Amino acid sequence: MTTPRPRAEFPIAEMAPAGIPRLTKSLLIPRPIAWVGTRSADGVDNLAPHSFFTMVSNVPPILVFASTGRKDTLANIDATGEFTVSLVSRAQAEAANGTSAPYDPEVDEFAVIGLEKEPSAAVAPPRVAGAPGVFECVREQVVPAGDGFTVFGRVVHVAVAEDVLVEDEHGHRLPDAHLLDPVTRLGRDEWGSLGEVFSLQRPQAS
């Protein structure tokens, strides 16, 4: 039997608005990072990291990320219906953080940060050339939620660096977690690396 732990209680209705995300983001960790590439209707490329990010459907593959407020990423997706999600490796963490700055819409973050872009295979927005893996997506829907917007993207193409692919015991050629070397967002200004990887077989009903 687990002994109950003493807890501090935080009624959301009684908290100052600025204190709510400081608490929740420090608790909901780790969060994978979607490094979202878009292209404006005028042809300006944009790149920004978003840490409210996961997948919600296997087939068809649909991923989701949230934009807090209406930013350039969302404006471009509204205009063109396409985007890329590059994964952020440990070596690229500083660059990804740099692209989070509030640049004006006419600024190309790839150029400002000095990141090489590469053409996508199925959509117009570019991919981060050095990323270990990239999802190319078309917009399924955008749903307002609180002070943010939830973007659902249907994955139409996946590109993976050859040097992170490993064949497993079943003959499946898949990305290796250690070779991907992803970073995650934590609380405050904290980021995290992958750390320990362990396996657990899913139990079957008796």
12 within domain boundaries? no
143 within domain boundaries? yes
- Report the greatest alpha carbon distance in the chain: 61
Total structural domains within the chain:
1
42 within domain boundaries? yes
Quote the pLDDT of residue 2.
79
C-alpha span between 47 and 39 (Å, rounded): 9
All residues at 6 or more sequence positions from 175 whose CB lies less than 8 Å from its CB, including other chains: 132, 133, 160, 164, 165, 166
- Backbone dihedral angles phi then psi of residue 110, each to the nearest 5 degrees: -55, -45
Q: Report percent pLDDT > 70 for the chain.
A: 100
All residues at 6 or more sequence positions from 48 whose CB lies less than 8 Å from its CB, including other chains: 35, 36, 71, 72, 73, 99, 100, 109
Mean pLDDT of the chain: 96
Residue 79: CATH number of its domain: 2.30.110.10
169 within domain boundaries? yes
164 within domain boundaries? yes
128-145 tens-digit pLDDT? 999 999 999 999 999 999
7 within domain boundaries? no
Check: pTM over 0.85? Answer yes or no. yes
194 within domain boundaries? no
Whether the pLDDT of residue 1 is over 80: the answer is no
130 within domain boundaries? yes
Domain membership of residue 109 as a residue range = 32-182
Name the pLDDT band for 22 (thresholds 50, 70, 90).
Answer: very high
